[in-house]
Every structure is written in C-alpha cells, then in structure tokens.
Amino acid sequence: MNTHKSAWDEDYRRRGDLWGGAPPPLPDLPAGAAVLELGCGNGKTLAALIRQPWSVTAVDISPRAVSLARRRPGTTTAALVVADAACLPFRREVFDAVFLVHVAGHLPETGRKSVASAICRVLRPGGAVFFRAFSVEDMRAGKGAETEPQTFRRGGGIITHYFTETEVAVLFAPLAPVSVRTHRWQMRIRGRDLPRAEIEAVFRKRG
C-alpha cells in the first residue's frame, strides 16, 4: 500500500482540503455508540460524526490527511489514527458502526477484500457498516487507464473503481444486507445533464 499512501499524501500536499460540501445523511445510532470512520481524509464526514453523541475513531492512510482533519473544530473529541484500513490496529468486535464513504473505490480488488475482512473483524455482533461508492453508471466510469475491470487510474496515480450493486453485496457477504441501492442524479456541465450514480449500502453483523 506504499504507492497508494504516497499518491494520497502528494494529492493532499498539492491541493490541501480535497473534500468539501455536505456530508452524507447519518443514521440514527444510540448515544455512546463506538463509531469508526475509515478514510477520513480532511474530515468532511468526520465533522458531522463528532457532532453526534458517539465515541468516534477516524483512520486514514495519509498522515497529511489526518493532520488536516485534526485542524477541524471539535476533532479533539475524536481519536484520529494514521493506519491502513486493510490492517486495522484494533481488537476484535470493538465498534458498533463503521463508515466507509468513497474509500473502497480507491483500492484494487485485493485491497477492497482486505478492508471488508478487517471491518468484519472489528465490528461487534449487531453492528452495522454504512457504505458509499461510485456506481458503474456514473459519468466518470470508463475514464482513464483501466488497471482492473471497472477500475481506472487518472492523473496523480489514484485509482477509482466503479461498483455494481451485486458486487457490493458479494464484497460484504459475511454480513447481512439491510439495503443495497443505487442513488442517481444529474449534474449539469457546460449545458449538458450528465449522470451521477453511487451505490449506497448498509450491512449488519449477525449477532
């Protein structure tokens, strides 16, 4: 994963806060829930998580990203860790919820499988995974150099994989699917409406 780490570090060095805008809607979790965000980046989703009455831990492979996330107001209440999501430095079954928002798509197939396995290990029975990644229906699918099926590298060395609903369900097969759906919308660029699409999914660990 060293090449992957270097590519993200360089992107954050050049561009600073990469991710802005509104975070995705958050689920209703009980107060005190132990929550893990994988791939926190510069803290876009983390900023919303720490406003909830949860115990939040956030991980990113890029030290620069974690440094940027730490600058966000209120992040002193969260535990921020530089670590590989495929090899999490946590004990078994310690988290009630794991958020994986636009992270798995930036990994090769072996990395995606390793991350899914790591999530299953650290999730408590009855705990849930909240997943979001780009769909094969998205307008950017197919753009760049294809490194694996439906995985494309564009400038900077960062890859993006585009998922199908079936593929996501298979990736988290040890867990019970609560919902797996495609969210579609239009983005107007230079007078044209172009398709955007994400896979949104929730999985729960059998108790």
User: DSSP secondary structure string, 128-194?
Assistant: EEEEEEEBTTSTTTT-SEEEETTEEE-GGG-EEE-B-HHHHHHHTTTSEEEEEEEEEEEEEETTEEE
Report yes or no: 46 and 40 within 8 Å, Cβ to Cβ: yes
* Span 52-110, pLDDT tens digits: 999 999 999 988 889 988 988 888 899 999 999 999 999 999 999 999 999 999 999 99
Which pLDDT score, from 0 to 100, does residue 154 have? 82
* Span 179-189, pLDDT tens digits: 999 999 999 98
* pTM, entire model: 0.90
* Span 135-171, pLDDT tens digits: 999 999 999 999 999 999 987 778 999 999 999 999 9
User: Residue 177 pairs with which residues in a beta bridge?
Assistant: 203
- 3-state helix vs strand vs coil in the chain, percent to 5: 30, 35, 35
Report yes or no: 118 and 92 within 8 Å, Cβ to Cβ: no
Which pLDDT score, from 0 to 100, does residue 19 have? 43
